[in-house]
Structure 1
Amino acid sequence: MDSILRAAGDLLDTELSDPVDLGGSRRSTVVRCRTATGGSVIVKAFAGEPEGLRSFASEAAGLSLRLAGPELLAVDAEVPLLVMEDLGDAPTLADLLLGDDPKAAAAGLLAWACGLGRLAAGSVQRKADLARLWARYDKGVPSWEDEPWIEQNSADLLALLDRTLITVPRGLAGELAVIGAVRAEYPAFTPGDTCPDNNLMTSDGLRLIDFEFACFQSVFLTAAYCRMPFSTCWCVFRLPTGLAEEIEHAFRAEVVDAYPELADDAVWRAGMRRAIAVWTVDATVALLPRTLEDGPLHPTRRPVPTRRQLLEHRWEMASTLEEFPALAATMRTLLGEVAGGWGMPPLQGYPVFREPGSDDLVRELRSNRQHLWIK
């Protein structure tokens, strides 16, 4: 920690002190520090293994694009670390969804969807800029845009099904290739990890944090977070149907400005179904091997679903993708032969929305799109 503070302080030409751990990850250490003048900054130092180095390049390049996120104050590519402005202790979208104010939670969801949509729409012409910035901070690890993660997940799913003695329907490999093509469709910038705990609801509006997976990806892969919801996250419960539709509509209404073709319902629905399939395969590969002993998706936050509950919910949604019959059949087999033996209660709705009145809440949001956090 001392060496991190010295390196960051040298970048800013000031002394840093009183580090407060903000809970990083195995890839990074994140601390809030006091400056010699009494202010505060956020210092993020990255591990030297490949995933840490990729995360550094992604975050440094993504923040340098200056489309979203905290202001990037300084970068040391050798340590590596970066220093950002401190956005304070505003509640996150996760705090609202696990809280007790349904209006605040619904408005937060709408702000999140609109904010991501506006970011995507406003970024479409900046892909070459991000590539140039990535080259500046490149640490020798492929970017997420160059990493064949969808193809690798498809291969891993087939191998996993074989180990689990699940019969692989004829045509599944071909369907996975078709589904994976969504990756190249309608690209736009995203911070990557757009989960509820990476969205601050500040007095100045929605602010996005954590750009470790920043890249250009299909708007469908981002929009799927609205419907599933939160494709790769821990803060996952069922959304009221009307509310899920409203936040997806809010995101889509923004990106249509950049991609008018997405106003076509057939185009939108097909892309969303492929994106849901991609993220379901991703969750299955990541979580199924860890379900022999079930456990919560987050080590400390409560309430939170278990790995088994989340997978069952994902498989249920993907089992309805009838244009991909082999995949849908695989999901139904997993539900019957794997989840059927778990005896788990189904994934419930977000606690904040379990009280009656969700329909009234959705109508209110539709009639008044301008809210405190949508700026």
Structure 2
Amino acid sequence: MESILRAAGALLDTELSGPVDLGGSSRSTVLRCTTADGGSVIVKAYGDGPDSLRCFTAEAAGLSLGIAGPEVLGVDIAIPLLVMADLGDAPTLADVLLGNDPAAAEAGLLAWARGLGRLAAASVHRRADLTLLWARYDKGMPSWEEDPWIPRNPAALLALLDDAGVAAPAGLAEELARIGTAGGEEYPAFTPGDTCPDNNLLTAEGLRLIDFEAACYQSVFMTAAYCRMPFSSCWCVFALPPGTAAEIEQAYRDEVVGVYPALADDDVWQAGMRQAIAVWTVDATVRVLPRSAQDAPLHRTRRPVPTRRQLLRHRWEMASGLEEFPALAETMCSLLREVAGDWDVPALPGYPAFANRETRTPAPSAANTETRNPY
């Protein structure tokens, strides 16, 4: 920690003290530090593993694009680490969704969707800039756009089905190959990568996006699917009230139609959304099903939170209605029947905040009091 403080202080030409560990992860150490003049900054130092190095480059490049996220105050490529402006302790979208104020939750969701849409629209002509920034902070790892995670997942899904004794219907491999073409080349836009509820601060100045470790360009549908599913790759997944998912999806769509007018066509939009849902459902199955033999909460400490099996069943139920992917839909039905049929778990509940839609009691500033790492 001392070496991190010295390196970060050298970047700012000031002494840093009083580091508070904000949690970090296996990839990084995140500290809130006090500057010599009494202010505070966020210092994020990364490990030397492949995942850590790629996350460093993605975050340094994504934040340096300057269209979202906290201001970058300094970058040390050698260590590597970032020094960022401190956005404070504003509640996250996860906090209000897990709270008890439905108005705050709905406002937070709309601010999140509009913010992501505006970011996407503002970024359309900046892809070359991100490529240059990636080269500046390159640590020898392929970018997220170069990682073939989408076309790689179909083979993993087929292997999982075989292990689970679920017969793959005719045409599934061909459908998966077609689904695997989604992700970036059609209607691309910038995303921080991990746009989950706990990575969005609801500040007095509005939504502030944080955690750019997976920053890249991808299809706007891959981000818009977070509105409908909801939150395609996240732990904070509950059922949204009727109409709310459609409302936040439209808020995102309204922002991107200005740069991609073709998305005003409902046929184009719905087809893209269904393909993105297929991509994310395959990904969730590949990631979570191998760990579902032992059901467990999706987050180590946050409560309430769904379990792995609740999440998978919810994803499979939604994907079972993808009519243009009949083999995949049949596969989802088979998983629901032959795998989830033996799971003694309740249905995915609604977000706690909306359980009190009529009472509208004040929300706490956070869903719990543990130290959180939004960075």
- Normalised-by-shorter TM-score class: over 0.9
Deviation at 1:177, TM superposition (A): 1.6
Distance, in Å, in 2 between the alignment partners of 1:223 and 1:298 is 23
Deviation at 1:21, TM superposition (A): 1.3
Distance, in Å, in 1 between the alignment partners of 2:357 and 2:55 is 42
- 4+ residue stretches of structure 1 with deviation over 6 A? none
1:89 aligns with 2:96: no
Deviation at 1:153, TM superposition (A): 1.1
RMSD after superposition:
1.2
Moved more, 71-80 or 171-180: 171-180
Counterpart for residue 283 of structure 1: 284
Distance, in Å, in 2 between the alignment partners of 1:89 and 1:256 is 33
Considering Cα pairs closer than 8 Å and 6+ residues apart, tell me whether 1 or 2 has the greater RCO.
Answer: 2
Aligned residue runs from structure 1 range 1-375, under 5 A? 1-183=1-183, 184-355=185-356, 357=358
Distance, in Å, in 1 between the alignment partners of 2:209 and 2:312 is 27
Distance, in Å, in 1 between the alignment partners of 2:358 and 2:326 is 37
Deviation at 1:357, TM superposition (A): 4.9
Distance, in Å, in 1 between the alignment partners of 2:242 and 2:280 is 20
How high is the TM-score relative to the length of structure 2? Answer: 0.94
Distance, in Å, in 2 between the alignment partners of 1:262 and 1:182 is 16
Q: For 2:320, give the aligned amino acid.
A: S
Distance, in Å, in 2 between the alignment partners of 1:138 and 1:158 is 34
Distance, in Å, in 1 between the alignment partners of 2:232 and 2:137 is 28
Distance, in Å, in 1 between the alignment partners of 2:261 and 2:199 is 29
1:26 aligns to what SS in structure 2?
coil
1:216 aligns to what SS in structure 2?
strand
Distance, in Å, in 2 between the alignment partners of 1:285 and 1:196 is 22
Q: Deviations over 1:33-92 (max 9, x none)?
A: 001111100000111101000000000000010000000000001101000000000000
Moved more, 20-29 or 275-284: 20-29
- Percent identity between matched residues is 72
Distance, in Å, in 1 between the alignment partners of 2:192 and 2:54 is 14
Indicate if the aligned counterparts of 1:180 and 1:274 stay in contact, CA closer than 8 A. no
Give the number of equivalent residue pairs: 359
Distance, in Å, in 1 between the alignment partners of 2:6 and 2:216 is 30
1:241 aligns to what SS in structure 2?
coil
Structure (1/2) with the larger helix percentage = 1
Indicate if the aligned counterparts of 2:274 and 2:322 stay in contact, CA closer than 8 A. yes
Distance, in Å, in 2 between the alignment partners of 1:356 and 1:258 is 35
Residue segments in structure 2 that go unaligned for 5+ positions in a row:
361-375
Distance, in Å, in 1 between the alignment partners of 2:256 and 2:139 is 32
Residue segments in structure 1 that go unaligned for 5+ positions in a row:
361-375
Deviation at 1:345, TM superposition (A): 0.5
Indicate if the aligned counterparts of 1:58 and 1:143 stay in contact, CA closer than 8 A. yes
Q: For 2:316, give the aligned amino acid.
A: W
Distance, in Å, in 1 between the alignment partners of 2:138 and 2:242 is 42
- Seen in structure 2, the aligned counterparts of structure 1 residues 31 and 268 have a Cα distance that, compared at 3 Å, is same
Q: Deviations over 1:268-289 (max 9, x none)?
A: 0000000001001111111001
Deviation at 1:181, TM superposition (A): 1.9
Q: For 2:264, give the aligned amino acid.
A: A
Indicate if the aligned counterparts of 1:62 and 1:215 stay in contact, CA closer than 8 A. yes
1:67 aligns to what SS in structure 2?
coil
Indicate if the aligned counterparts of 1:53 and 1:141 stay in contact, CA closer than 8 A. yes
Distance, in Å, in 2 between the alignment partners of 1:79 and 1:255 is 38
- Seen in structure 2, the aligned counterparts of structure 1 residues 110 and 60 have a Cα distance that, compared at 3 Å, is same
Deviation at 1:331, TM superposition (A): 0.5
Distance, in Å, in 1 between the alignment partners of 2:132 and 2:192 is 17
